[in-house]
Amino acid sequence: MTAIETTDLTKQYGSTTAVADLDLSVPDGVVYGFLGPNGAGKTTTMRMLTSLTRPSSGSARIAGVPVDDRQRLIERVGYLPEEPPLYTELTAREQLTYVAGLRDLPEDETSRRIEELLDRLDLADDADRRIDAYSKGMRQKTAFVQSLLHDPDVLFLDEPTSGLDPRAARTIREMIDDLAAEGTTVFLSTHILPVVDEHADTVGVLYDGELVAEGPPGDLKRQADAGAGDDTGGAGERTLEDVFLEVTSEDPAADEATVEGATDVR
Ligand SMILES: Nc1ncnc2c1ncn2[C@@H]1O[C@H](COP(=O)(O)OP(=O)(O)OP(=O)(O)O)[C@@H](O)[C@H]1O
C-alpha cells in the first residue's frame, strides 16, 4: 500500500499559500527526505498529514486512511515536531508510560519496548529524573521514543537529531534505517543534507509551497551535473547542497540549468 498519498494538497493562511497543490506518492518502507528553505511549507505539510491542521483543499491519505479521519489516523502516524510536547513535571519513564496509556497500548509489551528504546538511546539511567531537569538532547530523545512507541506505519520526523551529540545522532540515524527496513515509512524533514543524502531513498524539495524536485539523491545529483553542462567532473561531483541551492534559487539561470536536468517537477 502507498504510505503517503496526497492530491492537490493545499493550505492557505489568509493570503499566504503555505502549501500549493502538493502531489506526493510515497511507498511503504522508504525514507523520504523532505527538504526546503525556511518557510517553504514543510511543517505545514507535516501538520496536515498528521491531522494537526486541516487542509484548505485537496486530499491526503496515510496508509489508506484519509487525514480527516483523526481517530484512525493517530494510530497509523507518529510525529516528532520541532518543539515536542512533553509534560516537564513528569520523568521520561512516566511520560512514555502515560502516552502509552492514552494510546491503549498493551502494558507489558510496551513497557519492554520503552526500556529497550531508552537503553538504545542511552537514556535509561536518567529515565526517572524529571524532564524539566533534562538537557535539550535528553528531551529530544524522550520525544523521539514517544513518536514511535505505538509502532506507526508512517513516522514524521522534523529535525530528529537537533541538539543531539554525535553518538546519539548516529543512533537515531541507525534507527531510521532499521525502521525503514522493518517496513515503517520515515518522512524526514531536515536541513542537514548529508543525512538525507546518506539515508533517504527519495528526496522531495519544497519551495514556496511547491514541490520543485523529487527523486533518489543520486539521480538528482547526476541530473544537476548534466543540467549544469559541467564537463570538469564526472557524475557525483555535485552534492545535494548544490541541487538544493539550484532548485530553490530565484535566479533564472540557475533554474534553467536544473530544468535541463529533467529532475524539476515544476
Ligand atoms: N499558523 C500560521 N498562521 C499563518 N501563517 C503560517 C502559519 N503557519 C505557517 N505559516 C506560514 O506558512 C508558510 C510555511 O511555513 P512552514 O512553517 O510550514 O515552513 P517550514 O518549511 O516548516 O519552515 P522552517 O524550515 O523554517 O521550519 C510561511 O510563510 C509561514 O509564515
Residues of the chain with pLDDT under 70: 227-236, 251-266
What's the pLDDT tens digit per position in 51-72? 999 999 999 999 999 999 999 9
Q: Assign 50 to helix, strand or coil.
A: coil
170 and 87 share a domain?
yes
Closest-CA residue, ligand 1 atom 26, reads 38
166 and 56 share a domain?
yes
**Cell digits for 155?**
513516522
Question: How many angstroms separate the alpha carbon of residue 39 from the centre of ligand 1?
Answer: 5
Provide residues with CB under 6 Å of ligand 1. 13, 16, 18, 36, 38-44
**Domain residue limits at 77:** 2-215
**Cell digits for 163?**
541538539
What's the pLDDT tens digit per position in 76-114? 999 999 988 899 999 999 999 999 999 999 989 999 999
Distance CA 118, CA 120 (A): 6
Question: How many angstroms separate the alpha carbon of residue 204 from the centre of ligand 1?
Answer: 17
28 and 53 share a domain?
yes
Q: Assign 26 to helix, strand or coil.
A: strand
Count structural domains, the chain.
2
Q: How far apart are the first and last CA of the chain?
A: 26
156 and 139 share a domain?
yes
CATH code of the domain covering residue 50: 3.40.50.300
pLDDT for the residue 249: 87
23 and 148 share a domain?
yes
Q: At which of 187, 215, 243 does a domain end? A: 215
162 and 265 share a domain?
no
pLDDT for the residue 260: 36
